[in-house]
Amino acid sequence: EAYAAYMTGYSSTVLWPILHNQLNTYTGADCGRVTNLFPPYTRVNDAFAAVVKSNCRAGDMVWVHSHHLMLLPEKLRAVRLPSNCVISFFLHAPFP
């Protein structure tokens, strides 16, 4: 359920239309619904951070891709990765 709210919910319903300048296709006009979709998006980014931290070694580079994980760089800094780890973020979408 969290994955569905993360992937087809906040990522696809809210972020994708905004990042692709497709607000005319935006189906999340109900602010209550958008608010309900954000906590699962956050939880899934937290889960990714936990897995990355458990697998990351000093000096590793973590390359984060796309809007599905936009919160992950912040989450990785919060969990304090081993020393000298580099966090990079690449946004596939053209930002308006």
Which pLDDT tens digit goes with each residue over 7-62? Answer: 878 888 888 888 887 766 555 555 666 778 889 999 999 999 999 999 999 999 99
Report the predicted TM-score, pTM, of the whole model to 2 decimal places.
0.84
**More confident of the two residues 34 and 92:** 92
Rounded CA gap, 23 and 45, in Å?
24
Residue 95 above 90 pLDDT? Answer: no
- Predicted pLDDT at 90: 93
- Confidence at 82, pLDDT banded by 50, 70, 90: very high
- Predicted pLDDT at 6: 81
Contact between 22 and 14 under an 8 Å Cβ cutoff? The reply is: no
Identity at 21, one-letter amino acid code: N
- Predicted pLDDT at 22: 76
